[in-house]
Amino acid sequence: MNNKVNYTVVGLLVLLGLTMILAFSYWLLQPTVDEKTSQYIIYFDESVLGLNIDAPVKYRGISVGKVTKLKINPNNSEQVEVLVTILRTTPVKVDTAAKLTAQGITGLSYINLSMGGNMSDSLKRLEGAEYPVIKSIPSFFENFEKSLGSVSTNLSNTLIQTEKLLNDENQEQVALLLERTAGFMDKLERLLDDKTIVSLQNSVQNLESTSSKIDKVIPNVDTFIKKSVVWEENIHKSMDSIMVSYLGITLSMDEIRRAISSGEFNIKEITSDLVPTMNNTLLDLQEVMIKFQDTLNQYDRSPSDILYKQEEIKKAPGEK
């Protein structure tokens, strides 16, 4: 067996192998053009439990970067400062918001970017700041916790009010109310026997009948109202006529008043002549009427006196 080893060849082979390893590593680690990134700062006001270095950063569900650094904000100890590295191709706008989102049931979290509008401006680094700052919004758990606290407070208040409502006095009142309600319901049940229900049904039927009759009557009422309007117009015309007459009377009275005032129309003077004459005429008329009545009485007593003068008149003393 030939133990001759060509160490030169071995050395060349080793060098070739190392070169290939280095070349593979370079190929493996060489950054592509697309993998050019930018770094942003996100300040969370809540706990970032579950968020680790290299935790993914997603934009609308697509992984666009990773968490690079986690630390407490040196200027505000209540905030957590998260440095993220995000692909430059990611459209990070001024209104883009970062939200801490739980990743299933593993307890891990990732950062989800959302709400960036097409028309919005791209996020720029503020003057004096090291990185652009993406604003954060509370996570689901944060909202849930806040809501839970509010619900808890409301529930507590409700319980307090309920406790006040259900004090001994109110309980007695409620018991009394229930007792009376039970009594009322009992009476109602006794009241609403079959006969009463039938009566109620009849009443409802009568009501329906009345309603239908009213529906029939309403057109008549409309007619009546129309006629009333006509009647009202006639009345109005009559009132106008009366008003005209009244004005005429007023003018006449004014004229009479003027005539009386000026002495043209002296009632006293007129009546002083007229009244005695009338009085005398009436007296004469009275005598004529008496004679006429006397004659009528005579012929009523003895109609044949008209021709034959047959009534026998008693002879007075001294008459033949």
- Contact set with another protein (CB under 8 A): 272-273, 276-277, 279-280, 283, 286-287, 290-291, 293-294, 307-309, 313-320
The residue (of 250 and 286) whose beta carbon lies closer to another protein is: 286
The residue (of 263 and 317) whose beta carbon lies closer to another protein is: 317
Question: Minimum CB separation from another protein for residue 232, in Å?
Answer: 52
User: Can you tell me the distance from the alpha carbon of 95 to that of 97, in angstroms, rounded to the nearest whole number?
Assistant: 6
In whole angstroms, how far apart are CA 219 and each of 121, 212, 213, 222, 320?
Answer: 71, 12, 11, 5, 94
Question: Minimum CB separation from another protein for residue 300, in Å?
Answer: 15
Question: Minimum CB separation from another protein for residue 276, in Å?
Answer: 6
Question: Minimum CB separation from another protein for residue 267, in Å?
Answer: 16
Two structure tokens written together for 186: 């009992």
- Count of positions (residues) in the chain: 320
The residue (of 152 and 304) whose beta carbon lies closer to another protein is: 304
The residue (of 63 and 279) whose beta carbon lies closer to another protein is: 279
User: Can you tell me the distance from the alpha carbon of 40 to that of 61, in angstroms, rounded to the nearest whole number?
Assistant: 18
Phi, then psi, of 34 in degrees rounded to 5: -70, -20
The residue (of 220 and 277) whose beta carbon lies closer to another protein is: 277
Residue 26 CB: number of other CB atoms within 10 A?
9
User: Can you tell me the distance from the alpha carbon of 119 to that of 96, in angstroms, rounded to the nearest whole number?
Assistant: 12
Q: Which of 83, 119, 117 is nearest to 97 (CA)?
A: 117
Question: Minimum CB separation from another protein for residue 261, in Å?
Answer: 24
Question: Minimum CB separation from another protein for residue 294, in Å?
Answer: 5
The residue (of 218 and 290) whose beta carbon lies closer to another protein is: 290
Q: Which of 75, 111, 101, 90 is nearest to 35 (CA)?
A: 90
Question: Minimum CB separation from another protein for residue 308, in Å?
Answer: 5
User: Can you tell me the distance from the alpha carbon of 86 to that of 56, in angstroms, rounded to the nearest whole number?
Assistant: 10
Amino acid at 308: Y
Pairing of strands 133-137, 62-72: unpaired
The residue (of 197 and 275) whose beta carbon lies closer to another protein is: 275
Contact partners, residue 131, CB within 8 Å, separation at least 6:
39, 40, 41, 83, 125
